[in-house]
Chains A and B, each alone.
Chain A
Amino acid sequence: MSRSPRSVLAAIVPPLVFGVGFLLVWETAVKVFDFQPYFLPAPSAIWAAFRENTALIWEATKVSGLNAFVGLIVGTTLGVLMSFALARFRMLNDLMTPLSIALNAVPIFVLVALFNNMYPVTSEVPRRLMVTLVVYFIVLVNVARGLREVGAIQLELMRSYAASDVAILRKVRVPNAIPYLFTALRIAAPASVITAFVSEYFGGSQNGLGSRIVGNIALSNNAEAWAYVVGACLLGLTFYLVALALERMATPGGVSARDRVGA
């Protein structure tokens, strides 16, 4: 499944050229039309602000990144545990499903405002709770489906082997759910970062990337705000790439489940 250097090059070069071209057009537009810095800073100005504030951006990245990471781990763990419980107890499933749907209909970010009231002002717990909640539902929905949606033929085969429910769980349902778990993680990882940023908009310590972006915009420090946005992009990208790498590693033969054909 390894790709030749030529095809890797073919995959990387066009977006790279496009990205650089885009930045050049942006830079030129700012210079030519003489945009004011409070309207749109030039990429060179953003880069300068980024260089100047690297240490601060790194500090803020660590705060937001840790919040996202803790929420991701706790949310995934709870989601997996709950999906097993749902697969095991039908009644629980009937109780939980309407509740999940109702919760999903709520603009869920507002909950962080409520969480903020429950904890001291400088606590990171409300933000982590928020991330946990978002991740939890993504993981729960996907893993529960993976445990449930096993081929009818495969279940008949297992019955013909006189397999117990436990054996069916271990040998069919769990392996079947693993690609679903990693798909969930691939969605949940960037979502956890975004949730961590947005959670910072609702008060609490002004220490994360989200609050720094808002704070700098309020002071019209647009180049600085954009520099923090760059940091946020890098953090989100890191989470996504790690999740993607885990998914590749966990799939037999290294082929993503979505690319498979047959059987």
Chain B
Amino acid sequence: MSDAGAKAVEVRGLSKVFNAGRPNEVPALVEIDLVIEPGEFVSLIGPSGCGKSTQLRLIANLLEPTSGEILVNGKPARKARLDQDYGMAFQQAGLFDWRSVVKNVELPLELKGWDRAKRRTRALEMLDLVKLTEFADHFPWQLSGGMQQRVAIARALAAHPPLLLMDEPFGALDEMTREHMQAELLRICGETSTTVVFVTHSIPEAVYLSTRVVVMSPRPGRITDVVEVDLGTRRDLDTREADAFFKKVTEVREALRGIQPAGIEPDIEQVVEEP
């Protein structure tokens, strides 16, 4: 899979311009440098339009960079995509209506050419991991939003990729489901030693989940600050109520506030509050 000692993600001098050379040219990202070690949980946070989702899609090779270099697992991003070196989850679960839950989880394995028995075994293992074994033969629309998102995570991890890319995966869930899912995600990533790059605009979510929070500014998107979160590897309900947690939340909030140009009233409050 990955070379020993290779970084999980290595981004150097990355820029992305949409509609380059046309009148409606938009510089989305400028001069991004980011190195993520295996086993890290890194959140990208920033107001709308700061290019955090764009950056995730560039790492996933769903977009091509205008300039700069992206290595995933020590390989060029395109090679990493073709090798299915990462799994991906979005705000919408994006499950396939016509496939049962277990068949949804099997899809990436099917495309890898695994035989029927092997992929069924793996898919059931993954459903066990997200605690949905008894829903294997249900169809997606019979599941709640949180359950659908758990299926999407099981699917993203089915091929045991070393890297998980997540774009606001809990953004559409209610607060309680969301906290539960965050705890589940930490447990799953701990059990599978998966590296995670996580896009969010919720400060508490970023702090609770991450080992590092990358703060980004909008138009054009650039990294303005990186906050290390040393809350330990075991995080539970108490973590959310610890002083250290609140201190980190404040630190990230201040880092975000700092990015607003002087004279413009920041609309951070609106952006960073829970939806």
Where the two chains meet, the residues of A that have a C-beta atom closer than 8 Å to any C-beta of B are 151, 153-154, 156-163, 167, 171-172, 175-176, 178, 252-253, 255, 257, 260-263
Contact = CB atoms under 8 A, between A and B. Distances in A.
19 contacts: A151-B92, A158-B111, A160-B62, A160-B87, A160-B88, A161-B108, A161-B111, A162-B84, A167-B111, A172-B96, A175-B96, A176-B98, A178-B98, A252-B98, A253-B142, A263-B92, A263-B93, A263-B140, A263-B143
B227 interface: no
Given A162-B111, A167-B111, A261-B141, A157 B81 contact: no
Interface residues of B, number: 32
Majority secondary structure, A binding face = helix
A157 B88 contact: yes
A263 B95 contact: yes
Interface string B82-107: 11101110101111111110000001
Contact of A153 (B90, B110, B112): B90
A252 B97 contact: yes
Contacts of B95: 263
A157 B141 contact: no
A153 B92 contact: yes
Nearest to A163: B111
A216 B113 CA distance: 65
Given A162-B81, A263-B97, A263-B140, A156 B92 contact: no
B110 to A, nearest CB: 8
A263 B101 CA distance: 12
Contacts of B84: 160-162
B140 A161 contact: no
Contacts of A172: 96
B89 to A, nearest CB: 9
A180 to B, nearest CB: 12
Contacts of A255: 141
Contacts of A162: 81-84, 111
Contacts, number: 70
Interface string B31-63: 000000000000000000000000001001010
A161 B107 contact: yes
Q: Most chain-B CB neighbours within 10 Å: which of A151, A161, A162?
A: A161
A178 B98 CA distance: 10
A160 B141 contact: no
B210 interface: no
Q: Most chain-B CB neighbours within 10 Å: which of A153, A253, A263?
A: A263
Interface of B: 57, 60, 62, 81-84, 86-88, 90, 92-100, 107-108, 110-112, 139-143, 145, 148
A161 B119 CA distance: 15
Given A162-B111, A255-B141, 6 more contacts: A160-B62, A176-B98, A252-B139, A263-B92, A263-B93, A263-B140
Nearest to B88: A160
A253 B100 CA distance: 9
Contacts of A157: 88, 90, 94
Contacts of B87: 160
A255 B112 CA distance: 31
B262 to A, nearest CB: 38
B88 A156 contact: yes
Contact of A262 (B98, B111, B148): B148
Contacts of A160: 60, 62, 81, 84, 86-88
Contacts of B94: 151, 153-154, 157, 263
Contacts of B96: 154, 172, 175
Contacts of B140: 262-263
Nearest to B86: A160
B81 A171 contact: no
Closest CB pairs A-B (n = 8): A153-B94, A263-B140, A175-B98, A162-B82, A160-B88, A161-B111, A260-B141, A263-B95
A94 B10 CA distance: 43
B116 to A, nearest CB: 15
Contacts of A262: 140-141, 143, 145, 148
A150 to B, nearest CB: 10
B99 to A, nearest CB: 8
A15 to B, nearest CB: 29
A175 B95 CA distance: 13
A161 B110 CA distance: 10
A262 B244 CA distance: 38
A180 B93 CA distance: 22
Given A154-B96, A175-B96, A159 B81 contact: yes
Contacts of B142: 253
Contacts of B90: 153, 156-157
